[in-house]
Copies of this chain bind each other. A is one copy, B any other.
């Protein structure tokens, strides 16, 4: 009654944004299998979350469900895609074409969802000029020109740690404000720039911590039987 022509609120919680891609993936799977309608319960199960959480998440985008029925799969796919900005296509540049950069360039998951690898850049003259995933590897000196020319708006850094900050600075200077960083360093950027970090060794270290705790638990505490819970 109150909001009318303003279907979605500005101000979606960060935790919700992080889960939308999960819902989207589950929904795409269902669409492929010809499922037309899905309940919050079923979708939540498919995405591995609590159903109340799912409903609350979706409620932030608008009221797209039908009580007593559920959500229309195709419609919801469209709404989430639009919210995430996947209805347009994003030109991505991969900086650093080592093992990881190559893996990323060949990774199918990007193209399928509105992302297009538009450039590969590296400093190594051995690699520059190579064709990888149908793309020519360009020299890092061309960074600024390539970003401008191809309309790149998201940059993936897959360089050695030592080179990351300097390249990051150059990327930021071109006006790019979204960076996905695989280098194991803390990048410093103006707070107008979003940096997301993926760190393989940190993930393993977290697993090791829990693994060790499980082992400790098995062998019993050294002093006393604190909470056997």
| Interface residues in chain A, defined as those with a beta carbon under 8 Å from any beta carbon in chain B | 5-6, 10, 17-18, 20-22, 24-26, 46-48, 83-86, 88, 90, 92, 98-100, 102-104, 106-107, 109-110, 112-115, 153-154, 177-180, 184, 186, 188, 194, 196, 198-214, 221, 223, 226-227
Contacts and interface: CB of A to CB of B under 8 A. Distances in A.
Given A194-B207, A209-B83, A184 B154 contact: no
Given A107-B100, A154-B208, A198 B201 contact: no
26 contacts: A10-B221, A10-B227, A18-B202, A20-B205, A21-B205, A21-B206, A47-B186, A86-B208, A88-B212, A100-B107, A102-B103, A104-B200, A107-B201, A113-B204, A114-B208, A115-B208, A154-B204, A154-B207, A154-B211, A177-B214, A178-B210, A179-B207, A180-B200, A196-B206, A196-B207, A198-B198
Given A48-B186, A99-B103, A184-B25, A109 B201 contact: yes
A188 B46 CA distance: 10
Contacts of A186: 22, 26, 46-48
A13 B17 CA distance: 23
Contacts of A92: 204
Contacts of A180: 200, 203-204, 207
Nearest to A197: B203
A63 B207 CA distance: 25
Across the A-B interface, the 4 shortest Cβ-Cβ residue pairs: A85-B212, A99-B103, A109-B201, A48-B186
Contacts of A107: 99-100, 200-201
Contacts of A202: 18, 21-22
Kindly name the residue among A5, A46, A199, A205 whose own CB sees the greatest number of chain B CB atoms within 10 A: A205
Contacts of A20: 205, 209
Given A99-B106, A107-B99, A115 B211 contact: no
B109 A184 contact: yes
A79 to B, nearest CB: 13
